[in-house]
Homo-oligomer: A and B are copies of this chain.
Amino acid sequence: MRSRRVFNYGAGPAMLPAAIMQQAREEFLDWHGTGMSVVEMSHRGTAFMSIAEQAEADLRTLLGVPSDYCVLFLQGGATSQFGMVPLNLAPGGASADYLCTGHWSAKAAQEAQRLCKVNLVCGAGDQPLRAVPPPHSWQRSAGAAYLYYTENETIGGIEFHSVPDAGGTPLVCDMTSSLLSHPLDVSRFGIIFASAQKNFGPSGLVLVIARRDLLGRAPKNMPSLLDYAVHDKNGSMLNTPPTFSWYMAGLAFRWIAAEGGLGEMERRALSRSGLIYSCIDAGDFYRNPVDPAFRSRMNVPFTIADDSLHDKFLDEARAEGLVDLKGHRAVGGLRASLYNGMPQEGAEVLVQFMQEFQRRHG
């Protein structure tokens, strides 16, 4: 039991559903009568293999992953994918197109520049974007090995609400902060990746969903762990995988299905974030700069018109058990992250606090 209820609005690692936290605690010392903990069992034994296979099967069902896609459970976080994507998909001097809509897509493009030719399709300027630039303005290159984008930018709070049209070019998407928060047509993508610690588990795990025909071209003068085809061939067990994070991701997949699936996750995300945006838009006290058509359902960055009130806001919120509302250090201000594990009540009490704070200081 928690000593007192805290709502954590940090950008991740983030709150997980109370039900799966409780379950993980209950079976922490003895998983299903095996007499051992998940953290103590061989990754190649029948117990963990059943956990691993069930997790993959549940994820495939949730997302409707087509059979010609592999699902990999890897280490290294999304940052590892910033390097693996160009190494595997654009080897030997090939080029790739990057849609830059904020901090994380810019970071991915920067990392890719070490490894392949990078063309910035949009967002090459210094100013933070308020919207995804319209497709007619995109500067795509001929022969790009893939078109890359970040579905949700956690710092700027900009989210794609539809899948861009890549033509025949394989589409690669960083869904670290949005995977499993809405229904998805996986067949539109070449590669999707997402680290777990936002919407479906503890840190230490990154999920990669890849169309198999794109794999197998990684150069041989690279560490073998960077080759998707090697991981696919070894069932993500070329070496010992992050077993506890894999297990907890599996609990999250089952929880999502039991709660109603991805449609229900999207309904909840719209409801939670909608409450906060409505509160912000109701007056001039709070501000969010993003074009409503591209506002993130996962991360709501906002400021107070009188920015000298930010520290007071954080202090008073913390005193009420509303924690980690500080904006990313790159942009300052405030931010409420509202992933799958955040209950509706968390959005409600935050709005209540925001309204009271405004009454006291507005």
Binding site for B on A (CB under 8 A): 1-6, 8, 10-16, 21-22, 24-25, 28-30, 33-37, 39-43, 45, 75-80, 82-84, 87, 111, 114-115, 195, 197, 201-205, 220-226, 238-245, 248, 321, 323-324, 341
Contacts and interface: CB of A to CB of B under 8 A. Distances in A.
Nearest to A79: B239
B34 A83 contact: no
B40 A16 contact: yes
A43 to B, nearest CB: 7
B34 A224 contact: no
Contacts of A75: 75-77, 80, 204, 242
23 contacts: A1-B30, A2-B35, A4-B33, A8-B41, A10-B41, A10-B42, A11-B42, A13-B39, A16-B39, A16-B40, A21-B28, A25-B28, A35-B321, A39-B248, A75-B77, A79-B238, A82-B223, A83-B222, A111-B224, A114-B220, A115-B223, A195-B240, A242-B245
The 4 closest A-B CB pairs, nearest first, are A83-B223, A6-B35, A204-B242, A79-B239
Nearest to A35: B6
A213 B345 CA distance: 52
A8 B28 contact: no
> For the complex, would chain A's binding face be called helix, strand, loop or mixed by DSSP majority?
loop
B1 A77 contact: no
Nearest to A111: B224
A202 B205 CA distance: 13
Contacts of A4: 33, 35
Contacts of A1: 29-30
B242 A83 contact: no
Contacts of A43: 13, 203
B245 A36 contact: no
Q: Which of A75, A241, A248 has its CB near the most chain B CB atoms (within 10 A)? A: A75
